[in-house]
Structure 1
């Protein structure tokens, strides 16, 4: 990836090398979807307090969550289960995707509860967030099946287990 801006607000992320995890996950997502790697993404690696504030502000849900995404433009498909509109590069060839916030506390708790490697779980959530930036969602059954299928394929190519399969 050419242009990833990462703001690490919670120092616990440093031990995970969040920058490398994000670069790998975003790159794998773009490659899988045959999109250029010249993409611009901003990442906020924070804690539960910060993500709860963002969740309240943008989704009216004043609780922590694992990952939030803000696409730079609306790309959603016109029909349930359809493919989103691909991002258009600017004149320099760069595609602006948007912003992702991810909470250490929630990610660590989810990984611990599920008996998963935290780096693998975070990689999954960054792939998930990147797909949201690209217009995918899980608001209905058809869209969820499409998005989850892509997540499983992308993570599989990275050598990671299906995050939706019970261990």
Structure 2
């Protein structure tokens, strides 16, 4: 698989290798899904990641989801879930645009601080989560949420990142 993850970081995101981080996160996510076979495909899979402000994410969230508040991550799939199995076959130019992922800096930074983890680790988790949404995963019910969380745990563990869903033992 040839994976092209283009990252556009904007203020207030700090300068660093976000493209490398996002590529590792996307690869780890894809490898743990039924689309893992794409790794051996000559098709170029493209994902765009925009690291932006809470204000921009709030606008997008209001426009596309009817929720007038910022959220940590938004995903905009370009491929219908029922077409994912055949997406690498018969492309006109050998490229597939999987979709876009947008992260809100303030929300991401606040959640990372609350969890006691780095912004980089939390952003990695959010990108894994976003890629899974691009691949048709959802967390609309408990079973789907648990399945999605298990893939996230596995992907993050492969990157040396702790379980983002620790079990409270009260």
The corresponding residue for 1:80 is none
RMSD, matched Cα: 2.0
Please, which runs of 5 or more residues in structure 1 have no aligned partner?
Answer: 77-83
Residues 2-33 of structure 1, C-alpha deviation per residue, up to 9 Å, x if partnerless? 42222222252424x32221111011112223
The answer as to 2:60 corresponding to 1:54 is yes
State the 1:112 CA deviation. 0.4
The within-5 A match list for 1:17-28 is 17-28=17-28
Separation of aligned partners in 2, 1:87 and 1:156: 29
The within-5 A match list for 1:6-85 is 6-15=7-16, 17-33=17-33, 34-37=36-39, 38-75=44-81, 85=84
State the 1:86 CA deviation. 3.3
The corresponding residue for 2:121 is 120
The corresponding residue for 2:151 is 150
Separation of aligned partners in 2, 1:96 and 1:67: 19
Q: Which moved more, 1:20-29 or 1:51-60?
A: 20-29
If the length of structure 2 is used for normalisation, what is the TM-score?
Answer: 0.84
If the length of structure 1 is used for normalisation, what is the TM-score?
Answer: 0.86
